[in-house]
Amino acid sequence: MPRQLELQSVSVNYGDVVAAKDISFGLGAGEIGCLLGPSGCGKTTLLRAIAGFEPVSAGSISLHGELISSPSHNVPPEQRRVGMVFQDFALFPHLSIEDNVGFGLRTLARRERRRRVEELLELVGLGDFHARFPHELSGGQQQRVALARALAPEPEIILLDEPFSSLDSALRETLAVEVRALLKARNVTAVLVTHDQHEAFAMADSITLLNEGEIVQSDSAYNLYHHPRTRFAAAFIGDGALLTLTAADDKQWLPEIGLSPDSETGHPEPGALVQVLVRPEDVVYDPQSRVQLTVLRRAFRGAEFLYTLALPDGQQVQCLASSQVDVATGEALPVRFNQRHIVLL
């Protein structure tokens, strides 16, 4: 059975600028995918190509098995059955919430249209707001109306371009979780574009990390965080220090941090340089540990201190420790490295 959305080796150029290069990914029905990456990496370009606003210069895009984009074939946007929610989600200010949601349903009989609008407003938790106008709603409520409006014509797929970026960060994450539940409840396939990993983690089943128009890693959120395959992925996702260390011998090959080889880490040759990604939560305060690192800085985070620690060679790692662990700058903090979570690159 064809997948709901399939991009095969898609490239998009703007004149000489290659905005997206050789991009392949697909989504099954009801799956939520995310294009994640820094500004200018080509996320919006790909979304616009899926919507039909940008022609592809190579490769193909299919929706439910039907070719919609290739260099020689371009189904116009209005015939694609693609719903969109954009960053500025402009609702029509002079239309009521009900009329905003029903906007794409003008061909339906009035009763049917009304039923569909009511159902969608209930779904997004705004059943009582149908007669209000956009300016009478909060930012989060307006965004939910925009989603209801995009879902109303029952598109094959919905595209969300930084849909929560105008909201504050606490609301953003809550809404991302809510919207995920809404999409899942209706088995809607969706592509989310964001540069915010928390949003991506909260919403997506699979994440395609992009950099400079190319795919860095397509994976689950868990794997991107715990098993990044490149330096870029390691640095972009989460906090962490990338250490360069020398393997010492077979038994204890990174003595600076008390690491020893195991089946996961393998056995690099003694003397080999090894790159290790260490997350702050994997450097654990342990009064029994022989590894004692000097405290360079510490920042109070309420329940925790975030310590910045120096290895003997000057490289730095961070450690999250309970704020009851009160060690001053310049003193030594005994720590253990949680080896299970340390990533070797």
Ligand X SMILES: Nc1ncnc2c1ncn2[C@@H]1O[C@H](COP(=O)(O)OP(=O)(O)OP(=O)(O)O)[C@@H](O)[C@H]1O
Interface ranges with ligand X (CB under 6 A): 14, 17, 19, 37, 39-45, 195
Minimum Å gap between C-beta 20 and ligand X is 7
* Cα–Cα distance, 339 to 266 (Å, whole number): 12
Residues 142 and 96: beta-carbon distance below 8 Å? no
> For residues 43 and 144, which CB has a smaller minimum distance to ligand X in the complex?
43
Minimum Å gap between C-beta 46 and ligand X is 7
Residues 176 and 143: beta-carbon distance below 8 Å? no
Minimum Å gap between C-beta 195 and ligand X is 5
* Cα–Cα distance, 265 to 262 (Å, whole number): 5
Residues 43 and 193: beta-carbon distance below 8 Å? yes
* Cα–Cα distance, 226 to 209 (Å, whole number): 14
* Cα–Cα distance, 172 to 199 (Å, whole number): 7
> For residues 42 and 83, which CB has a smaller minimum distance to ligand X in the complex?
42
- The two tokens of residue 191 are 């592509």
Dihedral angle computed from the Cα positions of residues 189, 193, 198 and 201, in that order, rounded to the nearest 10 degrees = 30
Q: In angstroms, what is the C-alpha Rg of the chain?
A: 25
Residues 30 and 184: beta-carbon distance below 8 Å? yes
DSSP 53: S
Minimum Å gap between C-beta 120 and ligand X is 28
> For residues 16 and 78, which CB has a smaller minimum distance to ligand X in the complex?
16
Minimum Å gap between C-beta 160 and ligand X is 13
- The two tokens of residue 88 are 């500025």
Whole-angstrom CA distances from 45 to 35, 77, 150, 214 are: 11, 14, 20, 12
Residue 195's nearest CA partner among 87, 110, 311 is 87
Minimum Å gap between C-beta 29 and ligand X is 26
> For residues 100 and 217, which CB has a smaller minimum distance to ligand X in the complex?
217
Residues 237 and 224: beta-carbon distance below 8 Å? yes
Residues 53 and 82: beta-carbon distance below 8 Å? no
Minimum Å gap between C-beta 47 and ligand X is 8
Those residues whose C-beta lies under 8 Å from the C-beta of residue 40, and which sit 6 or more positions away, are: 212
> For residues 31 and 162, which CB has a smaller minimum distance to ligand X in the complex?
162
Residue 87's nearest CA partner among 199, 164, 198, 144 is 164
Continuous segment of H or E residues that includes residue 147: helix 139-151
Minimum Å gap between C-beta 33 and ligand X is 15
> For residues 48 and 113, which CB has a smaller minimum distance to ligand X in the complex?
48
Minimum Å gap between C-beta 62 and ligand X is 21
> For residues 118 and 212, which CB has a smaller minimum distance to ligand X in the complex?
212
> For residues 41 and 276, which CB has a smaller minimum distance to ligand X in the complex?
41
> For residues 134 and 213, which CB has a smaller minimum distance to ligand X in the complex?
213
